[in-house]
Amino acid sequence: MKHMLEYFKNLSFRKKVTIICLFVGLIPVILLGSFSYGQVRKLLIDREKTALKESLKQEVYNLNYKIDSYLNAMNLILWDEDVRNSLTHTFTNNFDMYKTYMYELDPLFTTVRSLHGEIKTLTIYTDNPIYPHGSTLRPLGDIKNLPWYREALSKTTPFFAASKDKKSLSLICRLYLSGSNYTSILYMNISYEKTFSTLSSLFNKSYGVFLENGQGEVLYSFHDFKEKDLSYALSDQSLSALKGGKLNETYVIQSVSLKNSGWKIYVYRPVSTVSEAANQITVIVILIVLLCLLLLFVLSALLSKSLVRPLEELSEDMDKLEDSEMAVRVVYDSSDELGHLVKSFRRMVSRIQYLIDEVYKSKITQQEYEMKALQAQINPHFLYNSLSLINGKAIMAEQEDISRMAQLLSTFYRTTLNKGKNLISVHDELENTRSYINIQSMMHSNSFDVVYEIDESALSLVMINLLLQPLTENAIIHGIDHKETPGRGLLTISLTRSAALLIFTVSDNGCGMQAETLTRLLTSETNGYGAHNVHQRVQLYYGAEFGLKYESKVNEGTTVWLTLPAAQ
């Protein structure tokens, strides 16, 4: 089973569709055909049982009539007064015996035999010392060794006995002779063939019959089967199995009892013979299945043309896509699931083409950036040399402010460029910020004060560069420069290290911000390199749990906290 499933799984989709269509189409046809065959077979068997029962009724009527006629004939003799007197009389001469034979026994027996052609002989066996007379009168000693003799002595009613060779049937009864010491038994020999001839012509062919005497003994059996069906013929020993229902699956069986004799007739016919008519239905079902098979092959071919072919073309396009060929050749305009798949594949190919173009453009941009970075490595040297020259000239001219400005600019640009690196030490980031604040202080004629509160244990740690300078720029330009309250401006820069965090604080006592401005400060783009840019850089590099946090009150000032991980 596992190998079959593996084989089916590896078949092409077209073959899978064909096999599934065949199974789906054939299963209902086979089930319907099997059901029809079973119903017709059951109907034929029921009809056969009815036919057997009706035939048996007629046969029982005939046999009952024959048995009644035999019993009536026997009673006619048993209760004949002349016969009874002859059997109880003690004869003194042969002439009286002769008259008894000629005028009493022979005429009566001849009349009975002529009325009943099935009766072959009539014999009275007696121990009366009378001379035997042919087959009409015989000594009782002739039958003392016969198997039915003791039964005849013990019974006072007629009973039937069959010969062992099943060729003769006997009706026997003891004569009840009141006041006589003689024992007499009337024996009637009946033709087997004539009595049961109708049992051999119940049906044309293919049946068997048993006649049981009510004590389990078979009185008569007959079967008529074709040569090819002789195996269905049952022997006399099979009667018990037939009666016990053990053969009900193989044979249709009916039985009827005879009223006066206690006999019972069993008729059986093979089920296969009865259900031969159902074989025609089997042939029809097979033809229908073959026709459905042919029709399903045609339908599966049409189905594969409309369903499987687009899938095959789509598979070919995918293989070509693997070879970097971006063309999509499959055409399928339906709006079903397959159409959705084809459209999605087209969009995917277009997206891949777009991404390839973007990567190509990004490579060009990267090359331009590398060129600019190379230029940036050259330009600072020129800038530093120029600032150094200005510083030297200022010292020679005793211009301390110009010298100090040149030194601050040199420090600021050195830490800002950071040799093109993205990461910088906390110490250098603070140096960059100090340089910028000092430059702004000189530009503002020292109109504001600066306070630094730095945890020096954090100076050796590393962070991304240019985070503090935009914050201090905002504090000076948008805060202190617009201060309307009396007093000098105050800028506070602090750094604390807490567990695994670095917390920078930039605070001013400037004009502050409205709540609406504060709300959208970190969620919208601003002109220049502002707080939103810093916040976005921090979260992209370190994660969403880090970044900026603002508090501000109008005319009181603004405080911003920058939270970073403490990284070595």
- Which comes out higher in pLDDT, residue 229 or 260? 229
DSSP summary character for residue 481: G
Pairing label, strands 137-139, 119-126: parallel
Position 398 confidence tier, pLDDT thresholds 50, 70, 90: confident
CATH top-level class for 428-568? alpha beta
Closest of 349, 322, 354 to residue 341, by C-alpha = 349
Burial of 347 (C-beta count, 10 Å sphere; 0-12/13-18/19+): exposed
Q: What percent of the chain has pLDDT over 90?
A: 14
Average pLDDT rounded to a whole number, residues 361-385:
57
The per-residue pLDDT for 529 is 46
Q: How confident is the model at residue 528 (pLDDT cuts 50, 70, 90)?
A: very low
Q: What is the rounded distance in angstroms from the CA atom of residue 119 to the CA atom of residue 384?
A: 155
Q: Between 296 and 364, name the one with better pLDDT.
A: 296
Mean pLDDT of 456-474: 90
Please tell me the predicted confidence (pLDDT) of residue 551. Answer: 93
Determine contact, residues 495/502, Cβ cutoff 8 Å. Answer: yes
pTM over 0.85: no
Q: Is the pLDDT at 470 greater than 60, yes or no?
A: yes
Label residue 492 exposed, middle or buried (CB < 10 Å: 0-12, 13-18, 19+).
Answer: middle
Of 294, 281, 307, the C-alpha closest to 26 is 294
Query: pLDDT by residue (tens digit) across 304-320?
Result: 667 777 777 777 777 77
Q: Which residue has the higher pLDDT, 554 or 167?
A: 554
Q: What is the pLDDT of residue 28?
A: 79
Q: How many helices (H) and strands (E) does the chain have?
A: 17, 16
Spans of all domains in the chain: 13-312, 353-420, 428-568
Average pLDDT, the chain: 81
Contacts 24+ apart (CB under 8 A), 391-397: none
Residue type, 128: N
Which tens digits make up the pLDDT trace of 241-258? Answer: 888 888 888 888 888 888
Q: Where residue 372 falls among pLDDT bands split at 50, 70, 90?
A: low
CA angle 371, 373, 374 (to 5 degrees): 65
Are the beta carbons of 17 and 307 closer than 8 angstroms?
yes
* pLDDT range class, residue 278, cuts 50, 70, 90: low
Q: Vertex 478, ends 473 and 484: CA angle to 5°?
A: 135
Lowest mean pLDDT among 219-223, 240-244, 249-253, 281-285: 281-285
Average of per-residue pLDDT across 432-457: 89
Could you give the dihedral angle defined by the CA atoms of residues 528, 533, 534 and 536, in that order, rounded to the nearest 10 degrees? 180
**Which range is least confidently modeled, 168-172, 299-303, 555-559?**
299-303
Query: How far apart are alpha carbons 142 and 187 in whole angstroms?
Result: 12
- Would you say residue 369 has pLDDT above 60? no
How many angstroms separate the Cα of 537 from the Cα of each of 189, 459, 531?
129, 21, 10
Q: 3-state SS string over 488-557?
A: CEEEEEEEEEECCEEEEEEEECCCCCCHHHHHHCCCCCCCCCCHHHHHHHHHHHHCCCCEEEEEEECCCE
Enclosing H/E stretch for 89: none
Of residues 492 and 214, more confidently modeled: 492
8-state DSSP, 398: T
Contact 519, 471 (CB under 8 A): no
Most confident of 318-332, 333-347, 376-390, 461-475: 461-475
Q: Which secondary-structure segment (H or E) carries 188?
A: strand 184-191
**Residue, of 428 and 200, whose pLDDT is higher:** 428
Q: For 160-205, write each residue's pLDDT tens digit.
A: 888 777 777 889 999 887 777 888 999 999 888 888 888 887 777 7
Poorest-pLDDT segment among 1-5, 29-33, 413-417: 413-417
Q: How confident is the model at residue 343 (pLDDT cuts 50, 70, 90)?
A: confident
Residues 6+ apart with CB under 8 A from 238: 247
